[in-house]
Structures are given as C-alpha cells and as structure tokens.
Amino acid sequence: MATHPSHAPDGTAPTEATDTPPGGYERHRAPVRAARAVALAGGSEKALARHRARGKLTARERISHLLDPGTPFLEVGQLAAHDIYEEPVPSAGIVTGIGMVERRLVMVVANDATVKGGTYYPLTVAKQVRAQQIARENGLPTLYLVDSGGAFLPMQQDLFPGEHHFGRIFRNIAEMSALGLPQIAAVMGACTAGGAYVPAMADETVIVEGNGTIYLGGPQLVRAATGEVVDAQELGGAAVHTGQSAVADHLARDDLHALSLVRAIVARGPARPLPPPPLAPLAPLRAASEIADLIPVDSRQRMPARAILERLIDAGRLDEYRARYGTTVICGTAAVGGYPVGLVMNDGVLFSESAQKAANFIELCCQREIPLLFLHDISGFMVGRDYEAGGIARHGAKMVNAVATARVPKFSLLIGGSYGAGNYAMCGRAFGPRLMAMWPNARTSVMGGAQAATVLGLVREEQMRKAGQDFTDADRRAMEAPVLAAYERESHPVNAAARLWVDAVVDPADTRDWLTLSLAMAAGSPKEETRFGVFRM
C-alpha cells in the first residue's frame, strides 16, 4: 500500500525499496516486480510527452492530488491486461483503487490517456465494472477522472454487446446513484461516444477548460454524418457544456482545479468517516517481514500455516475453533489491525471432517457478524474409494454452500496453491470475496500442472491402446512438457492479476496493511442478512 504524496500508488513501493528477502522468495517476486514496473510506467514516452504538452497530469498524478495527503491507496487491478494483447496496455489503460477523500473512503476510476488514448479494451471494461462492484458492495462513492476515446474499436465485439460489457458501466452508475452512493465525474480530456454517458449520468460533473470534451460523435463523425464542420471545443468543450447544454455543472481551469472541485463535492456529500477498529490494534507476535523467509522455494510445497499466522494476526492470537478436530483446516477468531476476523486457513488437504468444521465455523461467523478471511494453500479435497464412500462430496458441498451464501464480508488471500474444488470451498473468485489477492509465490489452476499432464497422458495412453498402438515413455514426455509449461504460465499470479481473477498481488510483508484497510472498509459497509441454502446432512 502506498501513501501520498510521497509514493506513487503502486501498492507496495515502501517494502520494495527497503527490503529484499534472500533465497527462494526473490524468484517468485521478480516477475511480479517486472510486471508492476510496466504497469506503473503507463503509456509510451511519446504519448506521455504529448499528454504533458497539453498541460495534463498523468492518471496516477491526478489520483495523488485527489486523495487526502499521506493516506493509503489500495490499488485494484494494477496488473490488469499485462501481456494479454498484441500491444502493451499497462494497467488496462485505467487506474482504479480505494482511497480517502475528505476523510471518506471512495473508489477512484481514472483513465490513462497515454495508453491508446485511454480507450477501453475488453479488460478495461471488466476492470471498471469490477471497481464499481467493489464500490457498491462496500457502499463507496465513485469518482471518475475521465480522459478516454471510448471503445477500442478493433475489439468492439468483445466489449460492447454483452451483459457485463460497456453498457454495464452506465447501468452501474444509475443503480449506485439510486442507492444514494455519490457518482462524481471530472472530464479532464476526451470523453467520446458511449464514454460521454459517464459524465452525463454522473450526479455531478466537472469539466476542464481547453482539454475536456464531451460528445456522442466527434468532429470527424459529425462531418461524415451531416457535413457540418465543427472543431472539438465548439462541439463539446467546457464552455458549451457548462454554459449551454448543462451536461457538466462546474468549469475548472486545469487539472488541479478540477480535482479540488471534486474534493469539494465529496465534502458536501454524506459524511461516513471510517469506523475506528473495535479492538486495540496490536503488532503480530513476529514481524510480517519474516514471512518471505518461510516461503518454500518450490511452490508445490506446503506453507507453514501456523508460523505464518503468528506473523499476520494481531499478537499472533487465534481463538481456535475445534483445534483438535478436522485439523487440516484451521478455523478461529483473530484480529488484524484491531478489526476482528474469522479465519479459515488450510493446513493440508480438505477431508470430510475439516469441510464440516469450516462450514460450521462460517455459520457461527455469520450469526456473530464477523467478516471472514480465507487463506488458501489447498491442493483440493481428499480423493479415493473410502473418502467417496464416506460422502466427501456431500461434506465438501456443505462448505461450498456456506461460503457461497455467507453474507458477512468475505476476503480471500492465496498464500500458496489454490486448486480445483479447494479453490471454491476457500472462497475463490466465483464466490464473491469483497477483495481477493495473491502472494507472488501463490499459484492457481484447476489442478496442478504435473497432475494435469499425468491425467492427459493416461487418457492418450488409453486411446492408443484401444487403437492397438504403443504409447512410449518418449511419447509421454513429449505430451507432458507443453502441459507443464502451460500450467506454470497460466497459474502464475501475474497471469491471474492480468485477467482480473484477483484484485492484487500483495507482498507478504504488506499483507497486514492490505487486510487492515480492507476490513476497515467492510466495517463501515451496509450489513446483509445471511440465509443459507439446504445443507446435505
């Protein structure tokens, strides 16, 4: 987590600058740092120079000036789109995250016009929709710093027509406004076509003189459609929209003025200061910076669960639930930064007993309104004849049911592997964690690469045998190698973050800060009542 204005909002700058853990962990962290550097750099030097020549601040500078000085910024989706498209699209061309403005927690959505004119790729749309979802679930006002050419036209079919595509952004604005969550826009550059509906639908809109433009069709399109010749400012500049059309409400001289106007609008809105932690925040038993040294070099090895807990939770104190039963899952109540949390942490594979214990513990947390934190290091549920006969699918389903329907705030952190149905039972992305992160050493896929290669090898061997052909060891090795390589690449945290399967890659040493702000945010959010589904007994 970064603070302002001393650091860029990069999620982890303070730790990276000061400590470099030795040994195996660095192997895990290096690719994450490299991806982060690409994300933070934004667009090309040429695009940046043109941007500055127009008197504009960058997206990250705008955020720095918008937030209360010295307060943290919890960036969401920083590595989005990394290495996904033919050309680099750092941070998917949009910076999103949670920060403080006028002592209110807000969601910020800022287009980066140095990345392809701030146009929306499919993952740009997905990232903005995700930011809005977080804002809605946690009751945050959303501030849009708009500077975008709208849809990235070559990929329109992947971002325009679908249920969760571009239209969802505008529906979300309307629905959040209807819920009483302020929607505030500052138009600091282009705002074209569909994009024009962001400021037009916002509750209150600021526009920057000279640089801000809002129009449904730009000058070229107008000329082609009607023959009218008009320049960008005459068509949709600040003077038109604050003096004639009333699409915008406030005229700003420049970026800094616009940001101060946005802050003033937030200050006029409902005050909802962060609730203080209900318990006195305590340091962990041992320093969180020691966690890196506990991480095995080989990501297939299990993590030392209890040693990690001592370094994560306040005073290392866990009020453990059924400590002597179902011991491959650790359940218990603890605090992070003074905020109570119900912990569900793997310490081995999930058995029927551990799944039932976790389901029961989740019920208790819902009844007592304690937020849940899932710490994943899970290869999956136990397999085998005895376990199937013992009903492991039924017992596992109880845990999945409880996780899915629990309506207390849920947070998910992948500290090691997170595979198969184990990922579901531990509140994977599909189960609605309010925020989800991965450590650089963590991995996630439907199963481990070695297991997938073995399964595919056995299937092929059977096919060849039926066809009366041999399947040699060399055939097996040739088949397995690309599967292993693909799984290593696909299960990596950079790939997961690039595709928005997780909201952030967080270093272990920064995890307490990340969790504290997440829990503080949830503590101030509207409560929901839990209603569980039918548990198969």
Nearest approach in angstroms of CB 126 to ligand COA is 17
User: How near is the Cβ of 87 to ligand COA at its closest, in Å?
Assistant: 7
Name the DSSP class of 269.
S
395 burial class (0-12, 13-18, 19+ CB within 10 angstroms)? buried
Pick from 30, 37, 49, 153 the residue near ligand COA by CB under 6 A.
153
Near ligand COA in 252-311, by CB under 6 A: none
Is 150 an interacting residue with respect to ligand COA (CB under 6 A)? yes
- Is the Cβ of residue 221 or residue 464 nearer to ligand COA in the bound state? 221
Count of other CB atoms within 10 angstroms of residue 54: 11
Q: Does 411 contact ligand COA by CB under 6 A?
A: no
Subset of residues 468 to 507 that bind ligand COA, contact rule: CB under 6 A: none
526 token code pair: 């509207």
Rounded Cα gap, residues 102 and 343, in angstroms: 32
CB 190 → ligand COA: shortest distance, Å?
A: 4
Q: Are 377 and 343 in contact (CB under 8 A)?
A: no
Can you tell me the distance from the alpha carbon of 164 to that of 450, in angstroms, rounded to the nearest whole number? 34
Q: Does 116 bind ligand COA (CB under 6 A)?
A: yes
Write down the least CB distance from residue 234 to ligand COA, Å.
15
Distance CA(313)–CA(304), nearest Å, equals 15
Report helix, strand or coil for 20: coil
What is the closest distance, in whole angstroms, from the C-beta atom of residue 82 to ligand COA in the complex?
18
The alpha-carbon radius of gyration of the chain (Å, integer) is 25
- Binding-site size, ligand COA (CB under 6 A): 14
Q: Helix 352-368 vs helix 392-405: angle between axes, to the nearest 10 degrees?
A: 20
* Inter-CA distances, 317 with 141, 281, 308, 334, 364, Å: 35, 12, 12, 6, 19
Main-chain phi, psi angles of 251, to 5 degrees: -95, 130
- Residue placing its CB nearer to ligand COA in the complex, 134 or 190: 190
Among 9, 42, 97, 117, binds ligand COA (CB under 6 A): 117
Give least dist CB 495 to ligand COA, A: 25
In the complex, least distance from residue 253 CB atom to ligand COA, rounded to whole angstroms: 20
The least distance separating ligand COA from the CB of residue 149, rounded to whole angstroms, comes to 2
Cβ nearer to ligand COA, comparing 116 with 127: 116
Among 212, 218, 428, 440, binds ligand COA (CB under 6 A): 218
- 119 lies in the site for ligand COA, by CB under 6 A: yes
According to the binding rule CB under 6 A, does residue 332 interact with ligand COA?
no
DSSP state of 69: T
What is the nearest approach in angstroms of ligand COA to the Cβ of residue 272?
A: 35
**Which residue intervals of 374-492 are DSSP H helices?**
385-389, 392-405, 420-425, 449-466, 473-490
Binding residue (CB under 6 A) for ligand COA from 25, 73, 121, 152: 152
Q: Where are the alpha helices (DSSP H) in 192-344?
A: 197-201, 219-226, 232-236, 238-240, 255-268, 291-294, 305-312
- The upper half-sphere exposure of residue 419, i.e. CA atoms within 13 Å in the direction of its Cβ, equals 24
- The answer to whether 417 and 443 are in contact (CB under 8 A) is yes
Closest to ligand COA by CB, 140 vs 151, is 151
**Residues 184-203 vs ligand COA: string with x where CB under 6 A?**
------x-xxx---------
Q: Does 412 help bind ligand COA (rule: CB under 6 A)?
A: no
Residue among 1, 13, 39, 151 that touches ligand COA (CB under 6 A): 151
Cβ-closest position to ligand COA: 149
Chain contacts with ligand COA (rule: CB under 6 A): 116-117, 119, 149-154, 190, 192-194, 218
